[in-house]
Structure 1
């Protein structure tokens, strides 16, 4: 079977993670327990998930000309992702997520940095690669006008696109209609599509955490139940699901089979720490599906 070709247009971040016993109050200094950096960003995460599952993945994005940018590029290349359309923006910081963890809660500050420079003009220069894709994968950590541009280009050239609307950002009804598959979680779906489910129900694949996945297939509502697994870290589970769904659809699997494949990949991802650290291989996902 030919490798499915997937282009991810999205964010590339470095996660700066601090663990502490107590969140500091305003003006207070506390002692932290641990600190580490992890490559992240929803775009990069989904690209890594798809690559580990056997896809030929091309990343369209931007990083800064700082040390983080170099490390983020190297990480993508180590995952066998084509980074020829990821450049380092001069005099700009890479995208960052400053994450403070305490007592199973977190506080996160996102600094877009170079992700704000993923403009329609920049993406247009990468159009040849996008138009050679079996599927395009989008998330909402890059400028809105870029997301709309990508959806329009894909629609004009009949390139199917999976739109993961996270973090929540409203688009026009026309834009949603052009998407091939839309993958909100339950909260995002309620905020974006309340009262409008009937209009686009065939496009929606709604992840519902412990309640599994809900979607429509040829007019029939379906639910895929979750796996009962020991959860170590849910970070990146949604990104794993989206990367896996795009891979399965690009391979020509039915929507039902693709959702089942993505559901298994997501279940495997939560059993290990870290967004990218828990993303599974194709062999692991196939084995889980065989055992169910």
Structure 2
């Protein structure tokens, strides 16, 4: 595990997450119609959502603990989200209510193939300052995970984590290039989506992009490529773990579940190959279930799919 800090034997593993948070309304349809159009939803679900939050939830569901750091509005929706996340077992002490601001929301339409259309709303009055982030929680974390949706918070948190030797992981999903350029160099684990990696590297091939980024990055560089699995560079060679084949229902939060599972497996001392298998299995199982991050599987389910797909270690 990168970073100077090592988990204490027997101590619970804790992820601190920093990123965006919103209430997502999920609508399941047969086809996403062209605009203008109308489609009758066959399913509906609401869930507090966000990439870093979802990674933390997966980390929790698979056996760890998680503290969520994010900004919410000073409104009833924000209060409701706080209560709901606490009820799920997440530590919500890192949620910061911004006075006079509205909590973010998103409408997400998911078709029968698992593809989706996302329409978010973020209140421009939400303060971007990261000064309130809990230094003590970050310093005591087993790992810090950040997404790129709140660049000021992610940068501040990762610089703080570095001071205390806490390993850091960035979700390198699609974001403005200048945002990724600020955050990726601060991460011990730069775990991209394939689209985010290609954007960051400025090329159209995953292997070329991984080699280009890895040549300039001291830590781990990898890319989660959906059904194609996980690719990374190790000692100058391209490594790959294939994803289990599943019937896809909903891909929302699959990449986030991958991040949370990968971080937990690495903290438990698994090799990168074993950790990637565990993470691919977790993300694949999530894709078989409608409901975003709440479709994250339990640990026994993941271990069973790892064994069925890859065999015994």
Fold-level similarity (TM above 0.5):
yes
1:289 is the counterpart of 2:306: yes
Secondary structure of the 2:58 match is helix
Asked whether the equivalents of residues 101 and 126 of structure 2 are also in contact (C-alpha less than 8 Å), the reply is no
Task: Report the equivalent of 1:43.
Answer: 52
* Structure 1: 5+ residue stretches without partners: none
Match for residue 127 of structure 2? 117
Q: Name 1:164's counterpart in structure 2.
A: 171
Deviates more, 1:238-247 or 1:162-171: 162-171
* 1:69 paired residue number: 78
1:35-184 to structure 2, matched below 5 A, reads 35-101=44-110, 106-113=116-123, 116-117=126-127, 119-123=129-133, 126-142=134-150, 144-170=151-177, 171=179, 175-184=183-192
Q: Secondary structure at the match of 1:234?
A: coil
Report if aligned partners of 2:19, 2:51 keep a CA contact under 8 Å in 1.
yes
From the superposition, tell whether residues 173 and 10 of structure 1 become closer, same or farther in structure 2 (CA, over 3 Å): closer
Which of 176, 193, 196 is matched with 1:188 structurally?
A: 196
What secondary structure sits across from 2:198 in the alignment? Answer: helix
Deviation at 1:264, TM superposition (A): 1.2
Cα 1:85–1:202, aligned 2, differ >3 Å: closer, same or farther?
closer
Q: Does the Cα contact within 8 Å between 2:73 and 2:126 map onto a contact in 1?
A: no
Q: After the TM superposition, which segments of 4 or more aligned residues of structure 1 sit over 6 Å from their partners?
A: none
Note closer, same or farther for the CA distance 1:221–1:25 as it changes in structure 2 (3 Å cut).
closer
**How far off is 1:71 after superposition?**
2.7
Q: 1:50 to 1:32 in 2, by over 3 A?
A: same
Contact 1:51 1:79 in 2 (8 A): no
Alpha-carbon contact 1:62-1:114 (below 8 Å) kept: no
TM-score normalised to the size of structure 1? 0.87
Structure 2 distance, partners of 1:237, 1:53, is: 14
Give the Cα separation in 2 of the matches to 1:115 and 1:272. 35
Deviations 1:253-275 (A, max 9, x none): 22222212111111111111121
- Residue of structure 2 in register with 1:235 after alignment: 252
1:277 aligned counterpart, secondary structure: helix
